[in-house]
Amino acid sequence: MTDYVLNPAPQPSIAVAGNDARFPVRRIFCVGRNYAAHAREMGHDPDREAPFFFTKPADAVVDDCATIPYPPLTENFHFEAELVVAIGEGGRDIAETDSLNHVWGYAIGNDLTRRDLQGAAKEKGRPWDWGKAFDNSAPCGPVHPVSAVGHLASGSIRLTVNGVLKQDADLNELIWSVPEVISILSRSITLAPGDLIYTGTPAGVGPLVVGDTCVVSIEGLGTLTTTITNRLG
């Protein structure tokens, strides 16, 4: 048994639907601009340029129905409804035709973003981390095992803020499909069990303010609710 000079951090994890055991989170990968209408609203041409990725720390995950503080350093804190793929079997150079065998399950995610910091980073050619990879930036609902829900290639994905519809799309609008994303990502890094992939958000992104309740729903996966409270003093 290894001795450490500090207590090791607890294993980040998310709930599993219909199971008391939890899904241990290893890393969080996120796809940028994977719905054409969202690429357009962000000022980009939605041609099929190769997908790109950014990451969040594993301990940025937050369970369903959590209340989280409005984050520091931003005046433009955005929601992004996303389908999350939970990897059960690792690998590298995974063929598209084999990709889905590596999926353990699917969940609903909210890729919370400090849009003003992301915009400033883009302008200056700096990394996106301060816009994307902050505390509590990755709410994620329970993982639904493939054995229960199968694979999700279509179905509605919606987001409301205080009951008002903000995002409304279908998973079949993904520019890069789940099998393609897994295959492409695995050529860059070796995927491992516990990795999560946030697959990108549809059009309609916008701000959250203190007191808001944000609900993401995906057909077959239920809902993910997140409430925003005061900034940390």
Nearer to Mn ion, 80 or 195 (CB): 80
Nearer to Mn ion, 64 or 111 (CB): 111
Pairing of strands 61-62, 138-139: parallel
Residue 80 found at the interface with Mn ion (CB under 5 A): yes
Residue 131 found at the interface with Mn ion (CB under 5 A): no
The binder of Mn ion chosen from 14, 60, 62, 111 (CB under 5 A): 111
Q: Closest distance between Mn ion and the C-beta of residue 21, in Å?
A: 28
Q: Give the CA distances from residue 215 to residues 93, 139, 159, 187, in Å, rounded to whole numbers and listed in that order.
A: 35, 11, 6, 34
Nearer to Mn ion, 121 or 148 (CB): 121
3-state secondary structure of 141: coil
Of the listed pieces 17-25, 83-91, 103-111, 117-125, which binds Mn ion according to CB under 5 A?
A: 103-111
Q: Closest distance between Mn ion and the C-beta of residue 199, in Å?
A: 8
Q: Give the CA distances from residue 226 to residues 20, 91, 192, 200, 233, in Å, rounded to whole numbers and listed in that order.
A: 21, 33, 28, 18, 20
Which residues have a Cβ under 8 Å from the Cβ of 114 and sit 6 or more positions away? 71, 73, 74, 76, 77, 78, 130, 131, 132, 134
CA-to-CA distance for 97 and 46, rounded, in angstroms? 25
CA-to-CA distance for 104 and 194, rounded, in angstroms? 9
Of the listed pieces 136-144, 156-164, 193-201, 225-233, which binds Mn ion according to CB under 5 A?
A: 193-201
The binder of Mn ion chosen from 201, 217, 225, 226 (CB under 5 A): 201
Nearer to Mn ion, 55 or 227 (CB): 55
Q: Closest distance between Mn ion and the C-beta of residue 104, in Å?
A: 21
Pairing of strands 196-198, 61-62: unpaired
User: Contact at 8 Å (CB) between 107 and 64?
Assistant: no
Q: Closest distance between Mn ion and the C-beta of residue 24, in Å?
A: 23
Nearer to Mn ion, 16 or 157 (CB): 157
Q: Closest distance between Mn ion and the C-beta of residue 37, in Å?
A: 14
Residue 136 found at the interface with Mn ion (CB under 5 A): no
Amino acid at 146: V
CA-to-CA distance for 136 and 170, rounded, in angstroms? 26
Q: Which stretches of the chain bind Mn ion, using CB under 5 A?
A: 80, 111, 201
